[in-house]
Amino acid sequence: MTATDPALTALANGWAALYLLYGRIEGHIERALQSEHDLSVREYSLLDVLSRQHDDEGGHLQMKQVADAVVLSQSATTRLVTRLEDRGLLSRYLCPTDRRGIYTNVTEDGLKLLEEARPTNDAALREALDEAAQNPELAPLVRAVEAVNAPLVLRQP
């Protein structure tokens, strides 16, 4: 048996706890969104990210930026966009200044569903964090999540 570096063991344990917290939160939100709104966590996240676009310069995201924001590959993001477009929640159009670019917007139906689903998402997140805070191994991570105030900023390539 070989000795393990305690620092590496601590890192591995920290990562395992973070992964456990993420899985619990995602699973809790997924169940709530699916049962109340027929949306997955990824679908909700995509609608949320795309709803924040604007018409000013640089206000529309390229597919790679969208993929980064929802933590999916570009191909998985494209399939997700297509699925939501088929449901009438998203629409695509050619960029008016660069005909090679295709942008995606949330439709009125998509915005309505997002508005209806947001309280469910927020409540499920709060419930999952409160539940995880009862676990001594996860409580410090919950406090760290609660302490983060900065909005996620998408960087332009």
Encode the chain (157 residues) as per-residue pLDDT tens digits: 455 788 888 888 999 999 999 999 999 999 999 999 999 999 999 999 999 987 777 678 888 889 999 999 999 999 999 999 999 999 988 877 777 778 899 999 999 999 999 999 999 999 999 999 999 999 999 999 998 875 555 444 4
Exposed, middle or buried by CB within 10 Å (0-12, 13-18, 19+), for 135?
A: middle
Q: What is the predicted pLDDT for the residue at 141?
A: 95
Residue 79 φ/ψ, nearest 5 degrees: -65, -40
Say if pTM beats, i.e. exceeds, 0.95. no
What would the CATH number be for the domain defined by 8-147?
1.10.10.10
**Which residue is associated with the tokens 């139906």?**
109
Q: What is the predicted pLDDT for the residue at 106?
A: 95
